[in-house]
Structure 1
Amino acid sequence: MNYNMPRKKIFVTVGTTKFDDLIKTITTDEVLQELSKKGYSEMIMQIGRSHVEPDCTKRCGFHRIEVFNLKPSLQEDMQTADLIISHAGAGSCLEALELSKPLIVVTNDRLMDNHQLELAEQLYKDGHLLYTNCKGLTQLIRSMNLSELKPFTGDKSKTIANTINEIMGFA
């Protein structure tokens, strides 16, 4: 192990929801190995209302994997992360983007009216994030080039809020 290499940290969040599929997928050896190949060795997971107990043993190049359910603010976890992997909730996405963090959004295929997918698609089209579902996560990580993402500059929150309102049919 090269102790001189910087340790890159991932923060995974599902917000206040329950997204067991993401928690189970992100902790598979296959996904961890791909993340390790990209230089990541630490992962903190905020698992919301999940009752899944992910495997937090050191493995696949990860020397630290931690988990918690909920806390008042995720800002510190997001600020210290080198990569954020998130559910497609508008709040989580905007917070990550406003902190100028590389973001992978994983959409929940189990949601009936998946307006989150539309938001992820729009932010992807604008070049701000990468997105996939749980089945495609390993391949996305394998092929990702985070340097191609465009910074989320200025106050685009109003634009995003308008997009959300259009998607929801409020505009």
Structure 2
Amino acid sequence: MGDRERRVVFVTVGTTCFDALVKAVDSEEVKQALLRKGYTDLLIQMGRGTYVPSKDSGKLNLQVDHFTFSPSIADYIREASLVISHAGSGSIFETLRLGKPLIVVVNEDLMDNHQSELAEELAERNHLFCSRPQTLQETVEAMDLDALQPYMPGEAKPVVALINKFLGFPV
């Protein structure tokens, strides 16, 4: 890599099993899309998943590594140039609070997936990009980081109200 600036993509599935996301970021197509966007490293936190991503980037000049769990992912998020995350609210809000560009990948296998509504609402407000595992490559290729709007923590109340309404709790 010489003196080329490191641009790390950090992928997190939290404590869940989200093999579809790990497989998607491990695909040659997504790795090539990340390289075309100028990213140099891919670090995957794979949680309880059974799919183990390849550390061999083949002909690609992308450094790839993975791990299962960490006591805190905050340092990984801080060091990242881009975060690709499951749709868990903790991971989403921690990344937005740290001001990092974020692609949220919705796990469509979850029943009553309120997480997709949270991700889609924040995407509509231009705080993040929302994707599915099968559309991750297209999302990476189309993303314009300059279009993202900073997330202001005071905005959580409307989002919480939306989640509570969806779950049938008093607003």
TM range (shorter): over 0.9
Amino acid at match of 2:70: K
Residues 19-44 of structure 1: per-residue CA shift (max 9 Å, x gap): 00000110111100000000001011
Checking the alignment, whether the CA contact within 8 Å between 1:124 and 1:130 is kept in structure 2 is yes
Q: Which amino acid aligns with 2:21?
A: L
State the Cα distance separating 1:165 from its structure 2 match. 1.7
1:98 maps to 97
1:69 maps to which residue?
Answer: 68
Distance, in Å, in 2 between the alignment partners of 1:99 and 1:129 is 13
State the Cα distance separating 1:159 from its structure 2 match: 3.6
Whole-Å separation in 2 of the counterparts to 1:131 and 1:77: 21
Partner residue, 1:162: 161
Correspondence for 2:143? 144
Task: Report the Cα distance in structure 2 between the residues aligned to 1:167 and 1:52, rounded to whole angstroms.
Answer: 32
Structure 1 counterpart of 2:109, one-letter code: R
2:20 aligns with 21
Aligned to 1:125: 124
Q: 1:143 deviation in Å? A: 1.2
The CA deviation string for residues 76-113 of structure 1, in whole angstroms up to 9 with x for no partner, is 00000000000111111000000000000011111121
CA-to-partner distance for each residue in 1:46-88, whole Å, 9 max, x for gaps?
11111211111134220x2111111211100000000000011
What SS does the aligned partner of 1:155 have?
helix
Other-structure match for 1:78: 77
- Give how far 1:156 is off: 2.9
CA distance in 1, matches of 2:71, 2:21: 21
Identity, % of aligned positions = 41
Q: Provide the alpha-carbon RMSD of the alignment.
A: 1.4
Q: Structure 2: which amino acid aligns with 1:113? A: D
Q: Which range is displaced more, 50-59 or 15-24?
A: 50-59
Aligned residues: 169
**Equivalent residue for 1:41?**
40
Q: What residue ranges of structure 2 are gaps of 5+ in the alignment?
A: none
What SS does the aligned partner of 2:109 have? coil
Q: CA deviation at 1:137?
A: 0.7
Q: Which moved more, 1:32-41 or 1:151-160?
A: 151-160
State the Cα deviation string for residues 131-171 of structure 1 (Å, max 9, x = none).
11011111111111111000012433334333322222213
State the match for 2:88 in structure 1: 89
TM score, norm. by length of structure 1: 0.93
